[in-house]
Amino acid sequence: MAKVQGYTRKKTIMEQYPSRQALVYSGAAFLILVTGLRTVLSVAEEGFGFIEFVTIGALAVEFSLLLLYALTIYQAGKETFLMTLEEEASEMEGGGESADGSPAPAKEFAVKSADVPEVAIEINKFTKQASVLIDKLAKNAEQSENLNQHLKELADEQINIRVRNEIQRLLSANMSAK
């Protein structure tokens, strides 16, 4: 684990995470308890009735559940984190599989200098194909725009013809009625 610079610092910060989260939940438990009791005591001026006792019982249950949850996070979090550290260390050494089941890369994994020209050639081919496709798409868009304009002109012509025919029909009907 000490092979990678900065890894030990990450480890100590991440190891503290479960204890910090547990501390937050413990603080929330005490805050709920104090706020709830203060509210119950300020509302119950005439004495304690059934509702006040139920509220205090609910506060006690919530307080204990939050503390139990905080304790569980504290214990389980450290165990889970330590197991994760061991898995990461074995992966860094090039052995086994990663957490998701895929094979971990070996230590010797590297791009060989002999592969670089072939990769560059393939990238150039792809770039040329992409530029040809972009040109074709631009021509397609221009043709679509021209077709839209032509359809608009045809629609305008048809509307003009229909309006002219309707006016002629109305005028001839008006003339024949006189």
**Secondary structure (DSSP) of 18-36:** HHHHHHHHHHHHHHHHHHH
pLDDT for the residue 155: 87
Per-residue model confidence (pLDDT) at position 122: 81
pTM over 0.75: no
Q: What is the pLDDT of residue 60?
A: 92
Q: How many helices (H) and strands (E) does the chain have?
A: 3, 0
Q: Are residues 82 and 127 in the same domain?
A: no
Residue at 99 is within a domain: no
CA–CA distance, 123 with 136 (Å, rounded to integer): 20
| DSSP string for 48-78 | --HHHHHHHHHHHHHHHHHHHHHHHHHHHHH
Predicted confidence at residue 80, as pLDDT, reads 65
Q: What is the rounded distance in angstroms from the CA atom of residue 89 to the CA atom of residue 102?
A: 16
User: 50 with 115, same domain?
Assistant: no
102 phi, psi to nearest 5 deg: -80, 150
Total structural domains in the chain? 2
Query: Both 14 and 78 in a single domain?
Result: yes
100 belongs to a structural domain: no
Using DSSP's 3-state secondary structure scheme, residue 103 falls into strand
Q: Which of 92, 121, 153 is the last residue of a domain?
A: 92
Inside any domain, residue 77: yes
* 133 in the same domain as 57: no
Residues 80 and 128 in one domain: no
- Determine the pLDDT at residue 109: 45
Q: What is the pLDDT of residue 1?
A: 43
For residue 139, what are the domain limits? 111-178
| Claim to verify: residue 167 and residue 140 sit in the same structural domain | yes
For 56-76, letters b (16+ CB in 10 Å) and e give beebeeebeebbebbeebbee
The per-residue pLDDT string of the chain (178 residues; one tens digit each, 9 = 90 and over) reads 444 444 454 556 666 777 788 888 888 888 988 998 888 888 877 777 888 888 889 999 999 988 888 888 888 766 665 666 566 666 655 555 555 555 554 444 444 556 667 777 888 888 888 888 898 988 998 998 888 888 888 888 889 899 999 999 988 888 887 6
pLDDT at 2: 45
